[in-house]
Structure 1
């Protein structure tokens, strides 16, 4: 069963839907991200204000094929200044490709590593074929060990080999990011939406800040594919952000549109700008959370 929300283009004939996907505003409805170098400087110099934390941990969650691993690859590409492929992806199977709980660190060369890490997790699917909601909640609390291989029909329990009994602040998740393809927001199954909301509510109870990324904007909007600077001019993409905001209950200003690197062999400033903008907000929100924890226990 699928949820179909009141969205003009869904009911239109194919030719009219194509025309709608081409429609743009005369001015961007959100300013185009600028000052790439300023953001790069911020990311390089970032250290958690909470001195009990060695790094800030970002967890990416979403349905199968959403682009979680691709966004992590794209982040690495932006930071390294070249297209990389550390997080394995699969564009053909239609099934979740990420099986293990894996932490990605990002190199600053001779300066060590950036003070934030990203965690990829098994995708959410209908029925019992994807990651278990309770396993995601355990990951938020830091109970899932590095390298644990998720078993969809069997949730992780205390005493299991992959269970961490006494997680430290560094093991916990400090920012939760939901990732969904921008061309299929309205086609998310009711069950997947329910699972995403369950995790979101659990994260809210822990005061973990939350953002979202809508990926594959180049597949959803020909204008965005033509030029990433058109992303926030697209009427179609703006509509997808608003629909997703209603679905998950996230404010619009916490939802970002990005184009991941996929077919490219070199990076470009316009694509980088959207990725850097989203990444900076993750760091800002996550550091506020860590700093609040520090204030709480002083």
Structure 2
């Protein structure tokens, strides 16, 4: 494969944790950021439209650019200059994996521009993108699509992060309820205790295992499988309205969780609709099918 001068990468949003699977379970959702990267003779230019256009930097510190630098260090020689055009649809700081999507977009673009085959470099791409995130759940979902189980091998610098992908049962139709306010992952992680009761750890571990079955073959188990005692309760002060909405949806028979670090809520419906009696004031209701392919590449 030669070295192209332009590549377009389309990367899906993701929802992490899915209730009990803290830093280990992720789901790719059909909401996309598109990045077109062209090689130039010098410098870096970044154009951003859509979500975050007024907030993100348009220079070397842009997250996609930083991911590209990390990936070039892995895959090969960096071009003398880069031009990025980013069209963002994934809301920022809402718990839908916008930072992981940006990291995946940059790493995949760099992989292609160095003449590598993305399909053959997925493990290396996961190391780059999860390394920037500190965990692999969102990055793996955006990279691979579908439902992912991610884990870490501390101390293994060559292959620290791992993930496996599974198809999602056709009877699951996610709906994202996107809050109008932002949430900081750093802030919400700061609310978590250093130690949890053994009973809560055992409870959450059983639900995480059950989630793998529920998402792939037995969606009727999703209500039990999305129960959590590890993180959502401790984080409730950071997003009380979202936590109340999760409670209301579950009381109405819809398995629901906080999406990632919040404040978006993920409802796991069977048909993409919500019960009529649930008050969603303050939330944008977005039916989002599962993305089944992950990052997509088009070479210009």
Shorter-normalised TM range: under 0.3
After TM superposition, the score normalised by the length of structure 1 is 0.26
